[in-house]
Chain A
């Protein structure tokens, strides 16, 4: 996504339309992104529980991973994930890796 230039922004940091937060993403300051290795994930839900931003999404469905079948999968909504790394820290199977963001 390309953001507007200094000269293109409304004067005085005004947000000129109401309700714009509905389509604003808030992940611009992330330097590391969590990546979940689905193979190692045991569906313990700890990352989902600990994420302070609520940006880990619990997806329902039928997911065949290796020899197992799960009815849930954890995904990260990168539009809002701040890259704090709490999920990676809490994951008991080290299924989450923090990977550098490239500009």
Chain B
């Protein structure tokens, strides 16, 4: 007789969703340092361990630099590891980000994005995540608690197949501390989906290897180029993992998501939850007002899904990219905008694209703001940067 498994749905914050996914994949070692808005992930994981629901070693460290260093060490021995951080914590661990990717360790880290100091802001934006974009990590940016749960599971499969560390980012507070219904997978199923794969090299006294040697000019460039190749491979692998996950658990997202893009003339390109939700609502309103509006959400941020983004924007007359981070002194201050502009330039695509910086330090992004962007795109398709919602 077939045993009918009932679906388990829980009301979870995105932080808790991340913790549930970490429990489902059965990690061995967790090291984290409390920092807002990440802290509740580790609270939940500690609870799981205390209740005997998760058999993992939790390392109490004295900083985020140590947290990432500890999981680097643990991962080097072949353990499945997890860590999480935000904002200054991610900055403090920045040095180790490069070490983790250089060592090609399949570390998974959750990052509810938060604004950077100074001045201190505990509120959400993506300045921290964007500062980590060139560190050789795979970076996902999820838009719902459900997606956070699904993506953390996918992240382990991807990380362990291409041997790269993976970051799963989402909106600080707007997602990390707000609840949504999340459908949880059967844990046995998850573990069979993400089996522990043998790694080519681990620290093992019976088979000694050296990790972290010095590389003279004869060697360093080749090893860095290896990472370039690994990220290119990760681009294909990420799509494959998403497809496999969809077949097994019934939910998939693609690397880039589109909303009402089939016949859209004007598009807003976003990342993260709040921006995507509001942009979709604004697109619906714009459609009612006769503007053929659509939304494109970039889910995989590194490696950058150039093909998918170009394809999504193929039919539009003009578009705007809403960035929730500032790259000071850049030709255009938004990081996603810069990536898309580069992708278009390389592929000989030329169309008006506006960069809208918004939601910095959790400045509210209203549906009305997004609607105004659509209206502006139709009236006056142009290039350049707009700082929306700031008093100037």
Contact = CB atoms under 8 A, between A and B. Distances in A.
A65 interface: no
Interface in A1-44: 3-7, 9-18, 20, 26, 28-29
Given A9-B219, A9-B223, A15 B229 contact: no
Interface in A48-67: none
Interface in B203-221: 208-213, 215-219
B213 A13 contact: yes
Contact of B226 (A3, A7, A17, A29): A7
A4 B200 CA distance: 18
**A3, A4, A9, A11: residue with the most chain B Cβ atoms closer than 10 Å:** A11
Contacts of B211: 12-15
Nearest to A12: B104
B225 A11 contact: no
A37 B160 CA distance: 57
A33 to B, nearest CB: 16
B105 A12 contact: yes
A10 B200 contact: yes
B223 A6 contact: yes
B222 A12 contact: no
Interface residues of A, number: 19
A13 B229 contact: no
B102 interface: yes
B193 interface: no
A13 B215 CA distance: 8
B222 A6 contact: yes
B388 to A, nearest CB: 43
Nearest to A25: B218
Nearest to A3: B218
B229 A6 contact: yes
B226 A14 contact: no
Contacts of A16: 201, 209
Contacts of B174: none
B366 interface: no
**B163, B213, B229: residue with the most chain A Cβ atoms closer than 10 Å:** B213
A10 B202 CA distance: 12
Contacts of B223: 6, 9, 13
B103 interface: yes
Contacts of B212: 13
B164 to A, nearest CB: 10
Nearest to B163: A11
A18 B213 CA distance: 12
A10 B199 CA distance: 12
A13 B201 contact: no
B5 to A, nearest CB: 38
A98 B225 CA distance: 33
**B216, B217, B230: residue with the most chain A Cβ atoms closer than 10 Å:** B216
A5 B222 CA distance: 7
Nearest to B76: A12
Contact of B163 (A5, A12, A17, A18): A12
B311 to A, nearest CB: 29
Interface of A: 3-7, 9-18, 20, 26, 28-29
3 tightest CB-CB pairs across the interface, nearest first? Answer: A28-B218, A12-B104, A15-B210
Interface of B: 102-105, 163, 200-201, 208-213, 215-219, 222-223, 225-226, 229-230
Given A6-B225, A13-B103, A13-B215, 4 more contacts: A10-B201, A14-B200, A15-B211, A28-B218
22 contacts: A4-B222, A5-B222, A6-B223, A7-B229, A9-B223, A11-B163, A11-B200, A11-B201, A11-B226, A12-B104, A12-B211, A13-B211, A13-B212, A13-B223, A14-B200, A14-B201, A14-B209, A16-B201, A16-B209, A18-B208, A28-B216, A28-B218
